Amino acid sequence: MGVGAGALLGAAAVLATWVVVAGPPWSPDEQTTATAQPTVSPRFEARSSRSDRAQQATPPPQIDAAPSSAAPTTPVHLLGDSLAVGIAPYLDAGLGERPVTTDAAEGRGTATMVALLTPYAATSAPTWVVSLGTNDNPEEFPEQAATVMDLAGPDRCVVWFDVWRSDTDESINATLAQLAAEYPNVHLVPWHETSAVHPEWFSGTDVHPSTTGYAVRGQLAVDAIESECSASP
């Protein structure tokens, strides 16, 4: 099931002076060494191996709070790459009192995420926000993406961003569309479609958004959770 792009209204109003400095769009994936539970914060704290050129996000600006009709204490787990790191403060602020855990790092591919996720997937939050595929080989991605969904199981609500990446997004996104067709608990956020007409959402020519883009992307995740995952256990 896809997530509509109509929820963008008001997202651009969250602009602040907060800046995310991201590394190269396809930096080598980090080695999997030890597996640990993701950090649990009521606020943002990411397990990240960011390069010297990258910086951790500063405290988030104010964005739309979760509506009162939503289950305010239902935990959410954010996992993935540098694009997940970038939206973490916006997601955390937008979800209000919901606990948010984050397991994300620059350059992370799906195979590494699977290795890290496997030991704790069963006991993690009932809602996942996934930002994976940007750093992946299109030929290997289908199997790894299916493994993520096997780890998620049928009862977990999974919000997954599709990919904007030159030359390879078509095949990656075709895999994600197929995944959403096979797993009814997957809800795609159409980042490729909605960002294609908004160059101002990006810092330059690579995949990393500007401050505006991260704010919009974070709000899209919040809106998807509220519209698609509010009935999650």
Give the residue numbers spanning the domain of 205: 70-233
**Does 50 score more than 80 pLDDT?**
no
Which uninterrupted H or E stretch holds 215? helix 211-228
- pLDDT tens across 173-223, in order? 999 999 999 999 999 999 888 887 777 888 766 788 888 888 999 999 999
Q: How many other CB atoms are found less than 10 A from the CB of residue 90? A: 30
Would 178 be classed as within a structural domain?
A: yes
Query: Is this structure's pTM higher than 0.75?
Result: no
Would 145 be classed as within a structural domain?
A: yes
Would 221 be classed as within a structural domain?
A: yes
Domains: count for the chain: 1
In this prediction, residue 17 carries a pLDDT of 32
Would 220 be classed as within a structural domain?
A: yes
**CATH code, domain carrying 123:** 3.40.50.1110
Nearest one of 86, 133, 89, 139 to 114, comparing CA atoms: 133
Would 29 be classed as within a structural domain?
A: no
Would 65 be classed as within a structural domain?
A: no
